[in-house]
Copies of this chain bind each other. A is one copy, B any other.
Amino acid sequence: MTSRAESAAATRRALLDAAAELLDSGGLDAVTLRAVGARAGVTRGAPYRHFLDKESLLIAVGTRAWDTLGDRMQALRAEPGLSAAEKIRGGLIALIDIGRFQPHLYKLMFSNPPGDPTALARAAQRSQTEFLAVVADLVGEQDARRYAALLISSANGIAGLEASGQLTDPKWGGVSAEDLTDTLVDMIAGKSRHA
Identical copies of this chain, number: 2
Q: How far is the CA of A172 from the CA of B137 in the complex (A)?
A: 16
Residue A18, interface by CB 8 Å:
no
Give how many A residues have a beta carbon under 8 Å from the other chain's beta carbons: 47
Question: Closest residue of chain B to A132, judged by CB?
Answer: B171
Q: Which B residues touch A153, using CB under 8 A?
A: 154, 157-158, 160-161, 167, 180
Q: Which B residues touch A155, using CB under 8 A?
A: 157
Question: Closest residue of chain B to A27, judged by CB?
Answer: B114
Question: Closest residue of chain B to A147, judged by CB?
Answer: B183
| Interface of A: prevailing SS | helix
**Most chain B beta-carbon contacts within 10 A, residue among A110, A150, A153, A188:** A153
Q: Which B residues touch A43, using CB under 8 A?
A: none
A179/B111 in contact, CB under 8 A: no
Question: Contact check: which of B156, B164, B171 meets A112 at CB < 8 Å?
Answer: B164
- For A120-131 the 0/1 string (1 means CB < 8 A from B) is 110011001100
B118/A150 in contact, CB under 8 A: no
Given contacts A171-B129, A180-B153, contact A165 B114 (CB under 8 A): no
> Which A residues fall within an 8 A CB radius of B?
27, 110-112, 114, 117-118, 120-121, 124-125, 128-129, 132, 145-150, 152-158, 160-161, 163-167, 169, 171-173, 175, 179-180, 183-184, 187-188, 190-191
Question: Closest residue of chain B to A179, judged by CB?
Answer: B146
Given contacts A145-B173, A172-B145, contact A112 B165 (CB under 8 A): yes
Q: State how many angstroms separate the Cβ of A104 from the closest Cβ of chain B.
A: 10
Q: State how many angstroms separate the Cβ of A57 from the closest Cβ of chain B.
A: 17
Q: Which B residues touch A114, using CB under 8 A?
A: 27
Given contacts A132-B171, A145-B173, A173-B145, contact A154 B150 (CB under 8 A): yes
